[in-house]
Amino acid sequence: MQILTFDIGGTLIKSAMYDENLGLLDCYEHEYPRAGVEGVLAILRQEIRKNEKDFDAIGISTAGLVDAEKGEIIFCSDAIPGYTGTLLKAILESETRHPVFIMNDVNAAALGEGAFGSGKDFKNYVCLTYGTSIGGAIVIDDKIYGGKSGYAGEIGHIVTHLGGKHCVCGRKGCYTEYASVTALLNKCRAIDYRIRDGFDIFANFENPHIKAEIDMWIDEVVHGLTTVCHIFDPEAIILGGGIMKEKYLTDEISRKLRKDVMPGYENVAVLPAALGNKAGLMGAAENVLRHLKND
């Protein structure tokens, strides 16, 4: 089976062909030709035309809240203007006559890690991505747990600081305001304005002021993960985002988490994500395979 896969983000779209025997083939990154939903559709249609005789189904991982059954974008930030409300599945199925399966990007990454990456040895795990904000996905018995409406996993918006900083969601004290990479960057830039990203932070690791900020940020990360452990008792926590490739972070998060949780919860494995920026594409392909094999 050949699956045309897409991973739709706020700044670019990744595409690839997934072959059931060979894996991901011909991976590309596409910059938006124009802003918003029309830019999204332009790239998707371009790649569909280019590959129209070579695939059996389409799998999509996308930013935003997604009704996976209807294939509708329930909500997306202004990063993709006009995307909210888009009936993406219906549009593409009517144009291609191929089945289309769509899911949220963090859920897709979690599915990908479970099938091909750090989650292969576990049936119950939580996957979090740390970047501009914090995304979360919950896997129970090898399946994405969506909750009543399919939107479960917004771990970035658990409140870790009552009455704390204002969050983009309109509430105060959300985990993402304290434990995202954005939060760490803001702290480190106050020390050295030349710091631009996570790579720069760890290039300055020997600076005692920077290291102190990293260690305090780790405490914030662990603060939220402690709650995750006590609620879900997962076999593993998989940490995504480029910064989590730093061994110091995953080692310290694991060490501190084991000390913070109640007795009985300390055996959780803490692992960096393995698939990098291909996790969404791999998860989108796995989502298609699961649906078509169950039909």
Q: Which of 178, 154, 174, 181 is nearest to 242 (CA)?
A: 181
How many residues are given for the chain?
295
Helix (H, G, I), strand (E, B) or coil at 225: helix
Burial class for 201, CB neighbours closer than 10 Å (0-12, 13-18, 19+): buried
Residue type, 168: V
CA distance linking residue 60 with residue 8, whole number of Å: 7
The per-residue pLDDT string of the chain (295 residues; one tens digit each, 9 = 90 and over) reads: 899 999 999 889 999 999 998 999 989 999 998 889 999 999 999 999 999 888 999 999 999 889 999 999 998 888 899 999 999 999 999 999 999 999 999 999 999 999 999 999 999 999 999 998 999 999 999 999 999 888 899 999 999 999 999 998 889 999 999 999 999 999 999 999 999 999 999 999 999 999 999 999 999 999 999 999 999 999 999 999 989 999 999 999 999 999 999 999 999 999 999 999 899 999 999 999 999 987 6
Statement: the pTM of the whole predicted model exceeds 0.95: no
Q: State the Rg of the chain over Cα.
A: 19
Q: Which of 249, 231, 261 is nearest to 124 (CA)?
A: 231
Show the domains of the chain with their CATH numbers. 2-105 (3.30.420.40), 118-274 (3.30.420.40)
